[in-house]
A and B are shown apart, each in its own frame.
Chain A
Amino acid sequence: MMPAFGSYALLLALALSGYTLLAGSIALRQLATHAAGQLPRVDPARLAETARRSGIASFFAVTCAAFALVWIAFTNDFSVSYILHHSNRALPGAYKFAALWSGQEGSLLLWAWLLAGYGLVLRLRHKVDVRLTAYASTILAAIQLFFLAILNFAAPPFALVAGTIPADGFGLNPLLQYPEMVIHPPMLYLGYVGFSVPFAFALGALMMRYPGEKWIHITRRWTMVTWLFLTCGIFLGAHWAYSVLGWGGYWGWDPVENASLMPWLTGTAFLHSVMMQEKRGMMKKWNVWLIFATFLLTLLGTDLTRSGLVSSVHAFAQSSIGTWFHVFMLITLAVCLFTFIRQSDHLETEHRIEALVSRESSFLFNNLVLLTACFTVLWGTLFPLISEYVQGNKVTVGAPFYNRVAIPIGIFLMLLTGVGPLLAWRSASFRSIRRNLVNPGIAAGAMAVSLAVLGERPWLDMGSFYAFMVWVLAAFVVTAIASEFLRGAAVIAKHTGQNLFSSAVQLTRRNTRRYGGYIIHFGVAVIFIGFAGSAFNQSKEQELGFHDRMQVGPYTLVCQSYTQDSNLNYDSEYTLLDVYRSGKKITQMAPEKRFYSASQQTATMVANHSTLAWDLYVVYAGKNPDTGQPIIKAFLNPLVAWIWIGVMIVVAGTAVALTPNLTAALAASRTRVPTREGAGREALATGGGD
């Protein structure tokens, strides 16, 4: 019953999306020709409205399909092949829900559902700009049609099992049975899918030769929210990898990780360069291509994940739908290219950069560096394929390549993060640069001296050198940001008599976008500080019997016991370790290894004691078959907590940047006052009111 309901819901969604695309295209075409003096055969406004409503209805149809799949998972209906392969009776409820996105078909359904959700919001808010929204809605319908076509014909989530239905499912991949997996994929997908909306607006605005830059104002929030989701998704994934994979790191430059990073880099570049278009009417062509590229990279990322083009530790959801993606990417690229060539005269720049040292040029360099970083990641990801084509054999392009090539680019970007905000628009004078750079320069110098005094020797190896550079530049960036806040807050404090902190809050509320941006930069500096700590990671492996000791950095691990446990879902082996520092017991840790009976796979449950200085990260590596004693691998990873703290600061900064300015809010309330008075007068005239 439910599989049929889900299948029909998907088919209905496909039909509705098809209608939205078709009717929307005809209506927009007729509106365009009507404007040129021809009479339409059908009222285009009414046709566009039916397309809009059809788009809204498609959301409910996809929701029904998603609901059906979750229902099937919860009722253990193993007649559905997808549920048979990704669930089992003993699987906890939260993971049954997560089964929706743990495989190929389910994750595509999630994609289609989120896209329909974004489409719903866009279509409900169509009064912001009816015509532009109609264009965006039609483009979104085309994207939705593609995903629904895959779901209906290439990767149906409700396909039934042929032959005898097994009594229990094969279970969920153990690596996915972790709390973060319930939120990491939806967050990442919200980011991936979300970039469809600014893409649709950009392409629509270009198609209709939208006058001015209002479409950027309309899409700004969409882009920022999407960027925030993608940021959270990437770092939740990093945290998941750190907590589950048990190799001691959080980023392995795996192709799938790279796939999520690429649209993030171009999206970040777009968020910066779009400011130049808003403020000075510059870089219009560049911005349009940035958002096109970002959307195409989200498709490429999904393609890399699904098609098995490159080998990955994330191969949870591989299949042969790569061809569908290749064709869709080619069509999208062709449409973008055609529209761009046809309308490129509409994108003529209003101003040009006037000085090499200016805010505009810093944005340009920032964009260049971000795009080079994106290209490097793409190059490294695809080079094995290029090598196979040219040399006849695949090579691996892993962490050593990125550490040598991408890290210097990241350090350069960090320098620009510090310098850029200190430069004035149009042209910065030498005097103002000198004045603005004094404090950050002193802070960077002081940091360099402090690190040298503390024993840091950047010339010893490449890792130490990178870490030294990052920490010195972090001091520079943080001081530059603090100076910006203090300078503005001091002026407000002088005029209002408020204390410096209240003044800084008021300053931020007056220009939330600018100061929210600075908070994000501060968060990025904190994240980089954390990254730099990885240059000093230590690890040790040792077999531990009862009361055996193991020394890792300042910590002493004492084995208290090792035992086994079992439940319906898995069998586990774990060790209880008392952790001492300076002779004092500080905590007890229990690293664990689980064996999941349904999937016949093992998984690591890492024990982690995290402080601001370092993480004591302990893994149960296995058992010595001769002695039966556990083998423990312990890592001392410096400054990892700073990464997660930095991400929280980035989230807070984005929230600030999304908040309307105080002056804008005041202006809005001022404009509302006469309306209320007018309404009151009307009420009085009609004898109504309180």
Chain B
Amino acid sequence: MRLSRLFSALLVGALAFGSLGAADDAARYDRLGHQMMCVCSCAQILVECNHVGCPDSSEMLTMLRTSIASGASDRSILEAFQAKYGPTALAAPMLTSFNKVAWIVPPAVLAFGLIGAIVLIRRWRLVNATKPPVAVYAPSSATRDRIRRETEL
């Protein structure tokens, strides 16, 4: 439970960091437009849809402009689009219930892998340390000369 709260806090923090300094309407329009998909089945980001005569993008862009002008928050705009066009209208899942899993799993896998690898290496190092030392191989001067000749360094 505590871990889940920590992940949520980190995600919210990351999202908040991502939206720093983007307060003006044009920037918000561009940013929010990049967080939505055109629903004309072109599978393109809303502000990148380049279909001539696309039946949906102009209506969606108008709604986005109106929503921004009305002073609605980013979250409420995204929720309104989701309610009107369905969840596929958002280019990435929102942080709601099961969708959190989408965001949490990849960093969790990386963290789990890194921690696991560090623990494993430390364990191997301890096992190696308990083994009897191998006799040190001291090459003769002739061997050293041969190595030097062969490597030409």
| A312–B113 touching, CB < 8 Å | no
With contact pairs A380-B102, A396-B37, A397-B92 given, residues A461 and B22 touching in the complex (Cβ less than 8 Å) = yes
Chain B residues, Cβ within 8 Å of A404: 14-15, 18, 92, 103
Residue B9 lies at the interface, judged by CB distance under 8 Å to chain A? no
Interchain CA distance A354-B37 in the complex, whole Å: 50
| A383–B93 touching, CB < 8 Å | yes
Residue A246 lies at the interface, judged by CB distance under 8 Å to chain B? yes
Residue A63 lies at the interface, judged by CB distance under 8 Å to chain B? no
Residue B4 lies at the interface, judged by CB distance under 8 Å to chain A? no
The stretch among B69-77, B123-131, B138-146 that forms the contact with chain A is B123-131
Interfacial residues of chain B within 108-126, with CB under 8 A of chain A in the complex: 109-110, 113-114, 117-118, 121-122, 124-125
| A372–B86 touching, CB < 8 Å | no
Which of A353, A397, A399 lies in contact with B102, CB distance below 8 A?
A: A397
| A405–B107 touching, CB < 8 Å | yes
Closest CB in chain B relative to A618 CB, distance in Å = 12
| B18–A312 touching, CB < 8 Å | no
Residue B88 lies at the interface, judged by CB distance under 8 Å to chain A? yes
| A461–B102 touching, CB < 8 Å | no
Chain A residues, Cβ within 8 Å of B41: 311
In the complex, which residue of chain B has the Cβ closest to the Cβ of A507? B153
Closest CB in chain B relative to A353 CB, distance in Å = 5
Chain B residues, Cβ within 8 Å of A462: 14, 17-18
Among all A-B residue pairs, the 9 with the closest Cβ atoms: A462-B18, A398-B91, A401-B92, A400-B92, A247-B48, A352-B124, A376-B106, A372-B110, A460-B21
Chain A residues, Cβ within 8 Å of B93: 383, 387, 395-397, 401
Chain B residues, Cβ within 8 Å of A398: 37, 45, 91-92
Q: 13 extra interchain contacts, Cβ-Cβ under 8 A, other than A396-B93, A404-B14?
A: A246-B50, A364-B121, A379-B105, A383-B102, A387-B102, A395-B88, A395-B102, A396-B91, A396-B92, A404-B92, A405-B103, A459-B21, A622-B52
| A353–B113 touching, CB < 8 Å | no
| B113–A368 touching, CB < 8 Å | yes
Highest count of chain B CB atoms <10 Å: which of A311, A387, A390: A387
Residue A371 lies at the interface, judged by CB distance under 8 Å to chain B? yes
The stretch among A52-60, A248-256, A646-654 that forms the contact with chain B is A248-256
Q: Mark A336-360, 1 if CB is under 8 A from B, else 0.
A: 0000000000000000111110000
Interchain CA distance A361-B120 in the complex, whole Å: 11
Residue B64 lies at the interface, judged by CB distance under 8 Å to chain A? no
Residue A369 lies at the interface, judged by CB distance under 8 Å to chain B? yes
Closest CB in chain B relative to A381 CB, distance in Å = 11
Interchain CA distance A383-B99 in the complex, whole Å: 9
Interchain CA distance A364-B43 in the complex, whole Å: 37
Interchain CA distance A397-B48 in the complex, whole Å: 16
Chain A residues, Cβ within 8 Å of B91: 396, 398-401
| B117–A364 touching, CB < 8 Å | yes
Chain B residues, Cβ within 8 Å of A372: 106, 109-110, 113
Residue A391 lies at the interface, judged by CB distance under 8 Å to chain B? yes
Residue B67 lies at the interface, judged by CB distance under 8 Å to chain A? no
Residue A562 lies at the interface, judged by CB distance under 8 Å to chain B? no
| A354–B99 touching, CB < 8 Å | no
| B106–A379 touching, CB < 8 Å | yes
Residue A67 lies at the interface, judged by CB distance under 8 Å to chain B? no
With contact pairs A401-B93, A460-B21, A495-B152 given, residues A353 and B121 touching in the complex (Cβ less than 8 Å) = yes
Q: Mark A520-562, 1 if CB is under 8 A from B, else 0.
A: 0000000000000000000000000000000000000000000
Interchain CA distance A631-B88 in the complex, whole Å: 29
Chain B residues, Cβ within 8 Å of A376: 106, 109
Closest CB in chain B relative to A309 CB, distance in Å = 14
Residue A602 lies at the interface, judged by CB distance under 8 Å to chain B? yes
Chain B residues, Cβ within 8 Å of A247: 44-45, 48-50
Closest CB in chain B relative to A248 CB, distance in Å = 7
Chain A residues, Cβ within 8 Å of B86: 393
Chain B residues, Cβ within 8 Å of A371: 113
Interfacial residues of chain A within 587-623, with CB under 8 A of chain B in the complex: 593, 602, 604, 619, 621-622
| B35–A400 touching, CB < 8 Å | yes
Chain B residues, Cβ within 8 Å of A465: 17
Interchain CA distance A245-B113 in the complex, whole Å: 38
Inter-chain contact total with CB atoms closer than 8 Å: 143
Complex A-B: 12 CB contacts under 8 Å: A246-B50, A247-B48, A313-B43, A353-B124, A355-B125, A361-B121, A364-B117, A393-B86, A396-B87, A397-B93, A399-B92, A400-B91
Interchain CA distance A607-B93 in the complex, whole Å: 34
| A368–B110 touching, CB < 8 Å | yes
Closest CB in chain B relative to A37 CB, distance in Å = 39
Chain B residues, Cβ within 8 Å of A12: none
Chain A residues, Cβ within 8 Å of B22: 461
Closest CB in chain B relative to A22 CB, distance in Å = 42
Residue A29 lies at the interface, judged by CB distance under 8 Å to chain B? no
Residue A375 lies at the interface, judged by CB distance under 8 Å to chain B? yes
Chain B residues, Cβ within 8 Å of A681: none
| B87–A354 touching, CB < 8 Å | no
Chain A residues, Cβ within 8 Å of B50: 245-247, 604, 619, 621, 633
| B153–A492 touching, CB < 8 Å | yes
Interchain CA distance A368-B117 in the complex, whole Å: 9
In the complex, which residue of chain A has the Cβ closest to the Cβ of B82? A395
Q: Mark B79-96, 1 if CB is under 8 A from A, else 0.
A: 000000011111111000
Residue A394 lies at the interface, judged by CB distance under 8 Å to chain B? yes
In the complex, which residue of chain B has the Cβ closest to the Cβ of A462? B18
Chain B residues, Cβ within 8 Å of A400: 34-35, 91-92
Residue A365 lies at the interface, judged by CB distance under 8 Å to chain B? yes
Which of B52, B103, B121, B153 lies in contact with A593, CB distance below 8 A?
A: B52
Chain A residues, Cβ within 8 Å of B110: 368-369, 372, 409
Residue A491 lies at the interface, judged by CB distance under 8 Å to chain B? yes
| A394–B121 touching, CB < 8 Å | no
Chain B residues, Cβ within 8 Å of A604: 50
Residue B53 lies at the interface, judged by CB distance under 8 Å to chain A? yes
With contact pairs A401-B92, A462-B17 given, residues A387 and B34 touching in the complex (Cβ less than 8 Å) = no
| A602–B87 touching, CB < 8 Å | no
Residue B20 lies at the interface, judged by CB distance under 8 Å to chain A? yes
Chain A residues, Cβ within 8 Å of B127: 352
| A356–B121 touching, CB < 8 Å | yes
Residue B98 lies at the interface, judged by CB distance under 8 Å to chain A? yes
Chain A residues, Cβ within 8 Å of B63: none
Which of A397, A491, A621 lies in contact with B52, CB distance below 8 A?
A: A621
In the complex, which residue of chain B has the Cβ closest to the Cβ of A406? B106
Closest CB in chain A relative to B112 CB, distance in Å = 9
Chain A residues, Cβ within 8 Å of B128: 352, 354
Chain A residues, Cβ within 8 Å of B106: 372, 375-376, 379-380, 405-406, 409
